[in-house]
Amino acid sequence: MMVARADASLTMGTGHVMRCLALAQAWQALGGSVRFVMAESMPGIDQRLFEEGVEVTKIGFGAAIDANELITVAGEFGASWLVVDGYQFGPAYQRTIKNHGINLLLIDDAGQCSPYCADIILNQNVYADETNYKKRSESTALLLGPSYALLRRDFLPWINWCRELPPVAKEVLVTMGGSDPDDMTSQILRALQRLEIPVNLTLLLGHGNPRESSVRRVAKQFPGHVSVLNQVRYMPELLSRMDLAISAAGTTCYELAFMRVPMILFVIAQNQAPALVAFANSRGAIGADWQANSNNLQFLQLLRDAIEDRELRASLVNNARGLIDGLGASRVCQSLLQMQSKKVELGLSQIGA
């Protein structure tokens, strides 16, 4: 049994839950069972987990209550691993869990929860660096980099798929991830009204986007064709039809990279800045600064270049796709099983098998 602790909300988005879901799917494929523990969620996320056959336990919000309730759930269901994904799981939280002899995987992005005592730290990001984890227990293992990127099983059939890039990009995706609290989707759409290049736009709204009515009003004013989609169930099929994506630099950019979609990335939350810089430095995406000028001329020029320059898009695709092969979730699960087996051989305590 794996117990995953993650939340989703308008402010934090849905990325923590969705990558835990990817790990859960890989664990299920190996014959394991999974339960989610959540203090915050959204109806769309709850429905998605239900469709995946994942049971959810709701707990109170607050560090002390949180850790103790999580331990109780782990004991009740005989969990062999606890997985926590979020920025609130600091040293005291980790220590509380480890003091109960529970195997702990911490999914981390920023290296700001030290000193670490989790059994395994997973940082799937392009910018992951061992120097962020100098303050950790001697027994703590590191899984770093996009070879461990947690993509859901929907993407596995597309591992050997190849994209044909048209001379001019016609199908353009705009997605700000699971939530869009500042309504960047509408802001980008208004800027695109001055693009002067005919494109078909697809606006993808996530589970936590509260501005759908506003987006649809702006879309009606757009001179070209616009589709507004909400909570798309099968992302790979949608991404396979896109020639270019304008995206927040959250977890979606790893899906775009895998599906060979050329990317222009924005930061809509400060924790996305390292991913944008890393993808841009690796020439796997174009990084855009929305605040660079008030009339967005720089962004529009970047977009025109990407739409009209096939070689540029091909270069972006090749560089980004080389980072991610889609097998990250299974690699992480194998690491969990290997460590669990090693602990059993050494006779170390754990809650269950």
Per-residue pLDDT of 292-326, as tens digits, reads 555 688 899 999 999 999 999 999 999 999 999 99
- Pick the more confident residue, 159 or 294: 159
Is pLDDT at 349 greater than 80 in this prediction?
A: no
Write the pLDDT tens digit of every residue in 122-132. Answer: 999 999 999 99
Which of 162, 161, 163, 172 is CA-nearest to residue 308?
172
Residue extent(s) of CATH 3.40.50.2000 domains in the chain? 160-321
Residue 34 DSSP one-character state: E
CATH 3.40.50.11190-classified regions of the chain:
2-152+326-346
For domain 160-321, the CATH superfamily is Glycogen Phosphorylase B; (3.40.50.2000)
What's the fold here for domain 2-152+326-346?
Answer: Rossmann fold (3.40.50)
SS (H, E, C) 145-196: CHHHCCCCHHHHHHCCCCCCCCCCCCEEEEECCCCCCCCHHHHHHHHHCCCC
| Mean pLDDT of the 58-83 span | 86
pTM of the full predicted structure?
0.92
Q: What is the percent of the chain with per-residue pLDDT over 70, rounded to a whole number? A: 95
pLDDT score at 62: 59
For the chain, percent helix, then strand, then coil, each to nearest 5? 40, 15, 40
